[in-house]
């Protein structure tokens, strides 16, 4: 009985050992299978990964590259349109290649995340929800091509309205500056990219230009410092028109402390395209006709107002002969680009230049913080005279040998 019991125990023990060996063998075989599977795993892009509308999830890296290239081949042919209310004219549609956009395939591919064997296995076992992961492609710019768009925008930036100050009905009227718009160059590339990625419509990034004249500075202009008036015949319509046009261009101009006013720089070249007409002028001391005739009366009247306001006159040239609208020595001749009339605001506060034309008079007033003390008086003295040079004109309408001498003021 005891012997039989030992035998049974021996059999049970042997059986237990066999079962244990079998389990270990199965675990070993299972582990080897997993290890083999892991070694054969091909990395694939994580599920949910997209570039634009292209799904890359589950693809190998090479397959993803091919899809990215196909996406770019198609996308690069689409037109991009950028607009802005800050522009006078809008740039037309442009292709991505025209804007210098190109896809950096290698850098874009490096942004893709791939699954390891274990992360893939874990996702399958846990039945993890797939989340969309949008990857931004990496682009490069050819700056020389982007410069074309920059140049167009700069040329079409919508200008603002300068600050102006007027004296009307005995009161100072202030017109604050409306800043213009300027290209935000630092964000232009991003704007192009955003437009390309979001339906090829976008906005040119613009920023508001800084104000030259602050609103609080306008409050410092509060009185008439000095004025000057001259008369002109209204019957000469071209000349009268030129005087009114130049006065209108200057009217309301503000000079900050230390700023210099240039008549030619501000009024600009006198051309028929800008509205100036042909009228009488002096050329080398003789009467002649030219576009912008009469402008010298505008500069002369302004010159006298600047003197009375005690501003610093830095450039002024008299005519080659006396003019009828001011006493001798009080005139200021101008012609584009030289001679010019220039004076500087030598005050601590801003000043404004007001011009008014009414009937046969033109008046300039210098507006500022306060009137200068004392009174400016002009002293005239005759120093001498000179013979004016002759200008000989061949007139085919005159009989042979006949000469006519003409000399007239205007």
User: Structural domain boundaries of the chain?
Assistant: 40-211, 220-368
The count of other CB atoms within 10 Å of the CB of residue 64 is 24
Chain segment 276-313, per-residue pLDDT in tens? 998 867 665 566 678 888 999 999 999 999 999 999 99
Q: How many CB atoms lie within 10 A of CB 28?
A: 10
Helix (H) or strand (E) holding 407: none
The residue whose two tokens read 């979001």 is 198
Distance of CA 138 to the CA centre of its chain: 28
E strand intervals along 190-241? 201-203, 206-208, 223-231
pLDDT value for 295 = 93
97 and 80 in contact (C-beta within 8 Å)? no
Q: How far apart are CA 323 and CA 237, in angstroms?
A: 19
Residues of the chain with pLDDT under 70: 1-41, 117-128, 130, 280, 282-288, 384-393, 395, 398, 400-410
Q: Is the peptide bond between 313 and the residue preceding it cis, with omega within 30 degrees of 0?
A: no
Q: Specify the pLDDT at position 20.
A: 47
CB count within 10 Å of CB 231 equals 13
Of 190, 198, 182, the residue nearest 99 (C-alpha): 190
Which residues does residue 140 pair with via DSSP β-bridges, in sequence order? 102
């Amino acid at each position: 009985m005891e012997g039989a019991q030992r035998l049974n125990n021996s059999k049970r023990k042997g059986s237990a050992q066999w079962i244990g060996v079998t389990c270990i063998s199965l675990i070993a075989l299972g582990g080897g299978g997993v290890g083999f599977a892991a070694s054969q795993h091909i990395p694939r892009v994580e599920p949910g990964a997209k570039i634009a509308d292209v799904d890359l999830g589950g693809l190998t890296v090479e397959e993803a590259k091919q899809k990215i290239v196909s996406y770019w081949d198609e996308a690069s042919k689409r037109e991009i349109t950028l607009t802005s209310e800050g522009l006078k004219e809008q740039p037309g549609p442009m292709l991505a290649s025209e804007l210098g956009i190109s896809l950096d395939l290698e850098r874009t591919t490096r942004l893709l995340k791939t699954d390891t064997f274990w992360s893939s296995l874990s996702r399958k076992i846990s039945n993890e929800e797939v989340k969309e992961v949008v990857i931004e492609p990496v682009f490069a710019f050819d700056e020389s091509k982007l410069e074309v768009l920059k140049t167009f925008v700069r040329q079409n930036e919508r200008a603002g309205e300068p600050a102006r100050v007027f004296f009307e009905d005995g009161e100072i009227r202030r017109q604050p500056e409306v800043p213009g718009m300027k290209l935000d160059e630092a964000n232009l590339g991003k704007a192009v990219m955003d437009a390309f990625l979001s339906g090829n419509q976008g906005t040119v990034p613009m920023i508001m230009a800084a104000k030259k004249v602050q609103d609080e500075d306008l409050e410092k202009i509060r009185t008439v410092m000095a004025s000057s008036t001259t008369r002109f015949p209204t019957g000469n319509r071209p000349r009268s028109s030129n005087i009114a046009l130049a006065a209108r261009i200057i009217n309301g101009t503000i000079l900050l402390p230390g700023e210099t006013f240039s008549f030619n720089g501000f009024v600009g070249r006198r051309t028929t395209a800008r509205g100036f007409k042909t009228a009488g002028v002096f050329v080398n001391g003789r009467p002649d006709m030219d576009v912008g005739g009469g402008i010298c009366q505008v500069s002369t009247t302004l010159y006298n107002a600047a003197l009375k306001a005690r501003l610093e006159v830095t450039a002024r040239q008299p005519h080659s002969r006396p003019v009828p609208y001011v006493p001798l020595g009080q005139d200021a001749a101008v012609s584009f680009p030289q001679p010019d009339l220039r004076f500087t605001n030598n005050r601590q506060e801003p000043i404004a230049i007001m011009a008014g034309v009414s009937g046969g008079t033109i008046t300039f007033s210098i507006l500022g913080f306060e009137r200068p003390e004392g009174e400016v008086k002009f002293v005239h003295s005759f120093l001498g005279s000179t013979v004016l040079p002759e200008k000989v004109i061949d007139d085919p309408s005159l009989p042979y040998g006949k000469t006519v001498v003409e000399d007239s003021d205007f």
